[in-house]
Chains A and B, each alone.
Chain A
Amino acid sequence: MDYQDAITALADPTRRDIIDRLRGGPLPVAAIAADMPISRPAVSQHLRVLSDAGLLTVTPQGNRRLYAIAPEGVNQLRRYLDTLWADALNAFERAAKEKAKGGSK
């Protein structure tokens, strides 16, 4: 699911570093990779993971591609957690009403 993918993607410090570098605005891979201690193909691989997790957008511009933070990415995380607790607390409420009636196990 999106939530799991995003957490997994952000668990890696290099990928968090990439997100940090994109705070100022969209960048091509060459600018992102500049002075990073890993190879450019490795950076590209991290960019792919972040994109697949819905955390980055990729926009072709001429013969290069611009990477940017996807504002929607974090909303997916919040929505997932929000749904989780809404579901859980609804179930909790139903069980509480049963228990109040003396119908609980």
Chain B
Amino acid sequence: MNDPIKKTITVPLSARGAFDLFTTEMDTWWPKASHSVKGPKSILTFPKHKGEPIIETGEDGEEAIWGRLIAYDPGKYLAFSWHPGRDESEATVVAITFTQTSTGTRCDLTHGGFEILGPSADAVSISYLRGWDLVLGCYAGAAKQPAFA
């Protein structure tokens, strides 16, 4: 039950094109009307350096931090913490790999806890993250008990 959420999509762009669209051009396509803290007219700013925040700036100039870059390998791999509307201590983790194919680029998105980053994860940068367990693990583990079958 607390397995990560996985999504795959193939887009007709080069890996670098898909990566740039997802990151620096995120503001042009993200469904802010339904999925944002500050509403449809806010602006999303996606960072390029590890540790920097993904920022949503509302019409009133107020900022909401959605997460922070954990890994940024243009055209290949992207990972960031994720806590829109929540405290950073409740962050989960999103990781995306970009793989060039004959028809475009396959984007594999995984949303879960820091374990999805694998053994190469930088423990220092993610040590505060416990969100996925908090969101799903603790609860799901409890809900799985046969008493509730």
| Residues of chain A at the chain B interface (Cβ within 8 Å) | 4, 6-7, 10-11, 16, 19-20, 22-26, 55, 68-71, 73-74, 77-78, 81-82, 84-89, 91-97, 99-100, 104-105
Main secondary structure of the interface of B (DSSP, over half): mixed
- Cα(A4)–Cα(B90), bound, Å: 11
Please give the number of chain B residues whose Cβ is less than 8 angstroms from any Cβ of chain A in the complex. 38
The answer to the question of B124 belonging to the interface, with a C-beta cut-off of 8 Å to chain A, is: no
Residues of B104-149 whose CB lies within 8 A of A: 104, 107, 109, 111, 134-136, 138-143, 145, 147-148
Residue in B21, B90, B147 whose CB lies within 8 Å of A25: B147
Q: Are B9 and A93 in contact (CB under 8 A)?
A: yes
| Residue of A26, A74, A93, A96 touching B139 (CB-CB under 8 A) | A74
Name the CB-closest residue of B to A22. Answer: B142
Q: Contact at B25–A95, with CB atoms within 8 Å?
A: yes
Q: Are B35 and A26 in contact (CB under 8 A)?
A: no
Number of A-B contacts (CB under 8 A): 113
Q: Are B85 and A96 in contact (CB under 8 A)?
A: no
Between A and B, 24 residue pairs with Cβ closer than 8 Å are A6-B135, A6-B139, A10-B139, A19-B139, A23-B142, A23-B147, A24-B147, A69-B139, A70-B143, A71-B148, A74-B1, A74-B136, A74-B140, A74-B143, A77-B136, A77-B139, A91-B30, A91-B31, A92-B107, A96-B18, A97-B12, A99-B13, A100-B104, A105-B28
Contact B28 A97 (CB under 8 A): no
Contact (A20, B109) CB under 8 Å given A25-B147, A77-B135, A97-B12: no
State the CA gap A4–B86 with chains docked (Å).
8
Q: Are B142 and A69 within 8 A (Cβ)?
A: yes
Write out the residue numbers on chain B whose beta carbons fall within 8 Å of the beta carbon of A94. Answer: 29
Docked pose: A21 CA to B140 CA in angstroms: 14
Contacts of A77 on B, CB cut-off 8 Å? 135-136, 139
Q: Top 3 nearest A-B pairs by Cβ distance?
A: A95-B29, A96-B11, A25-B147
Which of the residues A4, A69, A91, A104 comes within 8 Å of B148, measured between beta carbons? A69
Check B75 for interface membership: any CB of A closer than 8 A.
no
A73 to B25, CA, bound (A): 35
Chain A residue numbers with a CB within 8 Å of B13 are 96, 99-100
